[in-house]
Chains A and B, each alone.
Chain A
């Protein structure tokens, strides 16, 4: 090491000269990606803001600044209020389910056992398969007439097969179904993230606690869980973004219905801005995603920062 250090010192002047050339090369290699990101991510982001405070429809050519007019009319609409509340219910409920289930599953999968690879593959399926296809599978499972869930429940004499629950046709049931299917999709993702965190905890620690006579729950809550805090935060932050901004499950299962009871902000923005051609109001609805995204980004930076400092 010392030799390398001395060699480096001797080379220092030459190095410094080379740095400017290296930086120039760095800029040249980085700029294509930067230009692309600015053009196709930065520009649309700016346009999204402009549309939300302007007067634009699909047919229009001009642009007129209208201030907060779009936001006013959006906020006054009952559909929007419903979607705003639903978005929070959808996100909070599914993330609670996901974090609890993923914790249990990660702990159970922690140690190696025979068949672990197969079990992992099965558990990961909902995340790795395209969600639009998984959701259509659930649409069949929750079918109004031929639902296998109803068939099983009827066998257990819990429901009447000739007047079965309409999983996607009644407001409360539809919301519960959408939350369940989205949780189904997100549990594998959080589980693997938590597993990655678990393996980084030195094994000796919980074992030492066990030897000292601490029971499973005590070890879990007083040692394992606190050590997993940062990684749980990461799983939660990604989970919130992927849930709050997602419309696939809702769109495929219910199209936001019945009567807007499962409408969330992204699906309402799609319906208004794309299907309804009202770009300005659609953009205004999408803007309500921004505060959550900014908050998550800020928290994410803090998590990353703290992890690097420690």
Chain B
């Protein structure tokens, strides 16, 4: 652990980089926080030092946000859509990943890579035909439009992620269950799924956060404010005409971002393991 002594200069450089980037990268969130609690007259005065409270802090922006906007509605929509997308993703991805990891041999590996590549197909390539498909299904301007389409990017990545988890389970364990008289499918349900809970939880968090982060499909398929998600509702519908209610806007951004960030942060290393494919051993 005690490697060679670093020169003071290297250490100083390291600290400058770490602190510099931490400040730069987190600054907008600090700014959202300070804007949330500032009085409007304080915000819109060029003479005022923007870093401090020139007038007493206020809860007006929060009151406006929760009382007079659709923010809570958007929050609820996002939660519902997130839960539904998670459910669809699990139902499709868990069995598929196990099938590819265990039952289809070399062929499964190839298919797995193919599935992974579909994760790279972006919404901005598909949104035009997809909006047609959505209207054929009669789902335009409903929350269902995104519940049905979001799994197109949660399922492929989840299959890929879970394949890794399932492959790490010793095959002998499953074979032992077969000897004990379980069917292969029984072994999957009673043995494999319970010991893969952490992998499945990763998929749950991953899918849910992707739903909160998606912007393009929700913007394209949903045209009325009350059916929107937070990610589109806040930046698009909290702006009336040319008037930006910056206090409430920043409050909404902060309140939504922080919980997502905290949860995502806990699971980050596992997502990264999915992204790095085979490049890291």
Contact = CB atoms under 8 A, between A and B. Distances in A.
Interface of A: 4, 18, 21-23, 25-30, 32-34, 36-37, 40-41, 43-45, 47-48, 51, 101, 104-105, 107-109, 119-126, 128-141, 143, 145-146, 148, 151, 161, 184, 187-188, 192-193, 196-197, 200, 203, 207, 210-211, 216, 230-231, 233-234, 238, 241, 245-248, 251-252, 265-266, 269-270, 273-274, 279, 282-283, 286-287, 289-290, 293, 296-297, 300-301, 303-304, 307-308
Contacts of A21: 184
Given A137-B28, A184-B25, A296-B120, 14 more contacts: A29-B99, A36-B152, A44-B126, A44-B130, A48-B128, A108-B14, A128-B260, A128-B268, A131-B215, A140-B249, A145-B44, A196-B280, A266-B122, A300-B277
Contacts of B103: 22-23, 25-26, 29
A131 B213 contact: yes
Contacts of A29: 95-96, 98-99, 103
A17 to B, nearest CB: 13
B164 interface: no
Interface string B13-47: 11101100110111111011001000000011010
Contacts of A131: 213, 215
Interface string B85-107: 00000011101101110111000
A134 B96 contact: no
A124 B256 CA distance: 15
A43 B133 contact: yes
B231 A130 contact: yes
A307 B257 contact: no
Contacts of A22: 102-103, 184
B278 A307 contact: yes
Contact of A231 (B18, B50, B133, B280): B280
Given A30-B96, A123-B25, A293-B125, A231 B216 contact: no
A128 B264 contact: yes
B93 A248 contact: no
Interface of B: 3-4, 10, 13-15, 17-18, 21-22, 24-29, 31-32, 35, 43-44, 46, 49-51, 91-93, 95-96, 98-100, 102-104, 108, 111, 113, 115, 117-118, 120-133, 148-149, 151-152, 155-156, 159, 172, 184-185, 209, 212-213, 215-216, 219-220, 230-232, 234-235, 244, 246, 249-250, 252-253, 256-258, 260-262, 264-265, 268-269, 272-273, 275-281
Given A23-B103, A304-B279, A47 B129 contact: yes
A130 B260 contact: yes
B126 A48 contact: yes
A297 B120 CA distance: 8
Nearest to B28: A137
A251 B127 CA distance: 15
Contacts of A270: 124, 127, 216, 219-220
Contacts of A27: 99, 104
B132 A304 contact: no
Contacts, number: 310
A210 B120 CA distance: 40
Dominant SS at the B interface?
Answer: helix
The 5 closest A-B pairs by CB, nearest first: A26-B103, A47-B129, A245-B122, A129-B257, A266-B124
Contact of B235 (A132, A211, A234): A132
Contacts of B51: 148
A136 B253 contact: yes
Contacts of A303: 277-279
B274 to A, nearest CB: 11
A164 to B, nearest CB: 9
A211 B3 CA distance: 10
B18 A32 contact: no
